[in-house]
Structure 1
Amino acid sequence: MIRLTNLADYAVVLMSELARTDRRANASDLAQGSGIPEPTVSKILGQMKRAGLLVSSRGVKGGFALARPAGDITVADVIEAVDGPIALTNCVSTAERECTLEPVCSMAVHWQTINEAVRGALAGISLKEISKPVSPPGFVEAAARVTEQAD
């Protein structure tokens, strides 16, 4: 199973919330709104700022805001700011490889292609796209039925 870390998941949640509100927010407000513990929110906000995805300001109206428009920040940017480069296997990792099969492995080049496809998919989704409000499944159909019955 391929799975993101909890921190990466939480980072996407927080960044999409900042994109949705399009205003400055502090760690306390984001923690309260997301249900993510405030120390975790503070840690993630620091990582996002160091990665250049957020800017911060102090003072009464201070807080964190997106450093670029939401359409210019991708899910891949957020994940990589927390977890580092996206690498599905050691074959595509920039870290030291520990695979004993590497010298004879015919899959390494294919894993690179697969990894690029996954990263490309994540890079193709912006915060602007995922911060749009969505209706619960079946909501549109139910609303249409209610409207038809009212007519």
Structure 2
Amino acid sequence: MRLSSLADYAVVMMGAAARHCGSASLVDAEGRKRARTSATELAAETGIPLPTAQKLVSLLTRAGLLKSVRGAGGGIKLARPSAAISLADIIEAIEGPIAMTNCTTHTTCSCTIAPDCTVKPHWNAVNSAIRGALGDVSLASISAGARI
């Protein structure tokens, strides 16, 4: 199993967003804690191209992981605490449900061996184990100790 570049970028970008939006050590020019960031700032910090960062912000906002704030002092921020966002949440926001095979996520399977497949009943256990492992890794742990 390999993550798409977009999912990988989403994890990197959410880690940067967590550092910007959840760290008391980040302050603005007036000494106030920064609670928001922007796709432009995240792109510059992570090296992710701006159009890709903007697309990710849209997908992550739609999935309820980021929140867009309008107006003066607006920007984007985490929709919930970084400890309450898992690696699985981020990956599923980009890739959809975590599944090793298509036959476990679709009601109909177009696989030619489906009628005689003895493996299909076991994929749900594998998928659950992978989802569980990814679910155990919080955004807080991903972003902890990383330098900006």
TM-score (structure 2 length as normaliser) = 0.85
SS of alignment partner, residue 65 of structure 1: strand
RMSD across aligned C-alpha pairs, in angstroms? 1.5
Q: Please say if 1:35 is aligned against 2:34.
A: no
Match of 1:65 in 2: 77
* CA displacement at 1:97 relative to structure 2: 2.0
SS of alignment partner, residue 113 of structure 1: helix
* CA displacement at 1:112 relative to structure 2: 1.4
Q: Please say if 1:119 is aligned against 2:118.
A: no
Richer in helix (by share): 1
Q: Deviations over 1:27-51 (max 9, x none)?
A: 1111100000001000000111111
Paired with 1:36 and 1:75, the residues of 2 have a C-alpha distance of: 19
Gaps of 5+ in 1: 136-151
**Number of paired residues?**
134
Q: Please say if 1:17 is aligned against 2:29.
A: no
SS of alignment partner, residue 115 of structure 2: helix
Identity of aligned residues (%): 49
Paired with 1:112 and 1:90, the residues of 2 have a C-alpha distance of: 11
What amino acid does structure 2 have at the position aligned with 1:47?
L
Comparing 94-103 with 75-84, which one deviates more in the overlay? 94-103
The 5-angstrom pairing of residues 46-61 of structure 1 reads 46-61=58-73
Paired with 1:38 and 1:66, the residues of 2 have a C-alpha distance of: 19
Paired with 1:27 and 1:7, the residues of 2 have a C-alpha distance of: 15
- Larger of the two Rg values belongs to structure: 1
What amino acid does structure 2 have at the position aligned with 1:11?
A
